[in-house]
């Protein structure tokens, strides 16, 4: 996973784990930089099958908004697709839109492809503002203080046609980042951090 860009390296985070809002502009530019450095593991997987067009289909469970279509061609992420993606994956509680890490979309795309289901994945949580993350931490002990969600690097997903365990197994098999298995709540967390698993 060398050469991967980490959104945390672009954003300034204070001692309490909150993002310096001035660094959000840098994160916006990060989307351009990340477009030049696609998720390597995903690219190799697609190259083996000869597919240059990357698609993803999902529904934001809380708003009902959807995205379905091509978001990447070869090594190029499509800005117009990410304009829509970032909006659908915004913090639905505050309405804040934030540039998602394209690599987490790659991971979702591969999970969807390997699960071989036409049913769009449901997104339970994508970007979370520091305010939202802090509020969720107060309500639940299972929310990380420095969550990858605050950097646009994580998605909580499920699919009504596939068991949560199978989604977890597919995601773990990619070895593309963190995979959290929440069997009781019926979802899987994926992120573009280091390869690790938990439940």
Domains of the chain: 7-198 (3.30.1380.10)
pLDDT of residue 52: 87
Residue 46 has pLDDT above 80, yes or no: no
Reported as a single tens digit per residue, the pLDDT across 121-142 is: 999 999 999 999 999 998 887 7
Region 53-65: mean pLDDT is: 97
Pair type for strands 178-182 and 196-198: parallel
pLDDT of residue 48: 41
pLDDT of residue 101: 97
- Span of 10-24, 41-55, 88-102, 159-173 with lowest mean pLDDT: 10-24
Mean pLDDT score across all residues of the chain:
83
């Amino acid at each position: 996973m060398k050469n991967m860009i980490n959104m945390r390296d672009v954003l300034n985070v204070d001692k309490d784990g909150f993002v310096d809002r001035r660094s959000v502009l840098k994160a916006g530019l990060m989307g351009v930089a990340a477009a030049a450095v696609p998720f390597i593991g995903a690219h190799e997987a697609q190259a083996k099958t000869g597919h240059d067009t990357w698609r993803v289909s999902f529904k934001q469970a809380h708003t009902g908004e959807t995205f379905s279509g091509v978001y990447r061609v070869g090594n190029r992420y499509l800005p117009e697709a990410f304009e829509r993606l970032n909006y659908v994956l915004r913090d639905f509680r505050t309405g804040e839109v934030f540039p998602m890490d394209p690599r987490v979309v790659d991971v979702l795309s591969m999970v969807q492809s390997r699960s071989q289901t036409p049913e769009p994945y449901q997104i339970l949580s994508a970007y979370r503002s520091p305010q939202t993350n802090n509020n969720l931490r107060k309500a639940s002990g299972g929310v990380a203080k420095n969550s990858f969600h605050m950097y646009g690097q994580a998605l909580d997903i499920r699919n009504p046609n596939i068991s949560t365990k199978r989604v977890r197994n597919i995601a773990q098999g990619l070895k593309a980042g963190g995979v959290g298995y929440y069997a009781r709540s019926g979802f899987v967390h994926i992120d573009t951090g280091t390869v690790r698993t938990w439940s």
